[in-house]
Structure 1
Amino acid sequence: MSIYITRHGLREDWINKAWKLTAARPSDSPLSAAGLQVAKELGLFCKKLDIKHVISSPMERCLQTSTQIADQLDIPIKVDYGVIEWVGPNPRQVDILNPLSNEELKKTYPRVDLSYQPTTKDIPKKETMEELHNRSRIAVEKLMEKFKNEPFIIVSHAATMIALGRGILKDDQYPIRTGVCTLSKFNFDKDQNKWNCEYTENGEQEHWTFRT
């Protein structure tokens, strides 16, 4: 069994600093043109992989990225709040998570599977690093149980991607890489009875990690 985790593409608000000033949902930036391009490249790469399920954060940048993957694989997108963005313990007003409902998302992203039951319906208002790791560990363990022996990919965010990977490996210090639209692949080694991580760099951009 393999599990893949990736981060969304480059965000519009990274290049257009004024975007948040008029946005209805300032925390929900879409992809930039360059971000959509790298997402398309990721989708083409994923076409070669044996992926049965696409799990996505409900934020639009992740849905846009997930769509590129799901279109290539011709499978639905399962929106899951367990893999949503991390806002930290003291979020600013513009960081408050306010994603569209699945019904609203489906109008733009028709591959959204409205029958899918997420690992949680809670949207965190604030989280310590420990709480993020706990939330992500629970989410990924539920996904591993739900899709037992079926390869799946999670499209998430930098901090959550780190926490999800650490949850799989059961190692809260593992240095997961988080470049946009890069892949971390997790394989279970039956002989050693543990999960291992492989990283696909492909010209990494915008790596992020926790401050120490």
Structure 2
Amino acid sequence: MKIFLIRHGEPDYTAVVEKHYVGYGRDLGGLTPAGIKMAQQCALRPELQQAQLILTSPFTRAMATTLEIARQVAAPVKVELGLHEWQPDRTGTLIENNDQVLKSYTQYRRTPHSRPADFPYPYETADEVQERVKAVFAKYADHYDCIACVTHGEVMHQFVNQDKFDYCEIQTINYPN
């Protein structure tokens, strides 16, 4: 199955910062006006017309990107929990601010495949991210030849040997490879 991995558009966290949302609350941030334009331009890419289904992360920035893509691509949309971004704290209860997220991410980048036993935040390892996303893809592999998947940079990194992804960048992979 061919998969178009698409990073979401430029996020806007203004409203969630104003409401003092932390942890999962930050994932409710939408797109900037530029992020919406990026998604609209992405939607015009001719290869996306091959997609028989559009899968999206449940995070607002990904769903807002998907909305713009779905306006141009004649394919059904399905929200998949397993396509969410990397988790700095798998419990969802220990991290209270962005400094702690950065500390978790810094350690993750040092040791992506294992968590030090004494590290205070049980972040998701790279292997866990990959397995979570592969489980989503496996549900569709027997039913579709080509899907689009709107997700996040760290998720894409697990399948494409690249560290950074532009907003609305598309990378093509085959599953299973």
TM-score by length of 2: 0.70
Q: Do the aligned partners of 1:43 and 1:69 also contact (CA within 8 Å) in 2?
A: yes
Deviations 1:36-74 (A, max 9, x none): 110110011157631110000011111111111111123
Match for 2:64: what amino acid?
Q
Q: In 2, Cα distance between the equivalents of 1:89 and 1:128?
A: 10
Aligned counterpart for 1:184 among listed residues 168, 171, 176: 171
Q: Offset of 1:19 from its aligned partner?
A: 4.3
Does 2:96 align with 1:93? Answer: yes
SS at match of 2:167: coil
1:131-210 matches, within 5 Å, as 131-147=128-144, 150-163=145-158, 165=159, 174-175=161-162, 178-187=165-174, 195=177
Name the structure 2 match of 1:127: 124
Q: 1:58/1:23 Cα in 2 relative to 1: closer, same or farther (>3 Å)? A: farther
Name the structure 1 match of 2:27: 27
Q: Do the aligned partners of 1:88 and 1:129 also contact (CA within 8 Å) in 2?
A: no
Q: 1:61/1:178 Cα in 2 relative to 1: closer, same or farther (>3 Å)? A: same
SS at match of 1:72: coil
Unaligned 5+ runs, structure 2? 99-121
Q: In 1, Cα distance between the equivalents of 2:20 and 2:75?
A: 31
Name the structure 2 match of 1:81: 81
Match for 1:155: what amino acid?
V
**Equivalent residue pairs, number:** 148
Match for 2:141: what amino acid?
M
Q: Offset of 1:75 from its aligned partner?
A: 2.8
Q: 1:187/1:140 Cα in 2 relative to 1: closer, same or farther (>3 Å)? A: closer
Structure (1/2) with the larger helix percentage: 2
Pick 1 or 2: higher relative contact order, CA cutoff 8 A, min separation 6. 2
CA RMSD of aligned residues (A): 2.8
Q: Do the aligned partners of 1:4 and 1:153 also contact (CA within 8 Å) in 2?
A: yes
Does 2:68 align with 1:71? Answer: no
Q: 1:94/1:76 Cα in 2 relative to 1: closer, same or farther (>3 Å)? A: farther
Deviations 1:76-111 (A, max 9, x none): 21000111111224762358xxxxxxxxxxxxxxxx
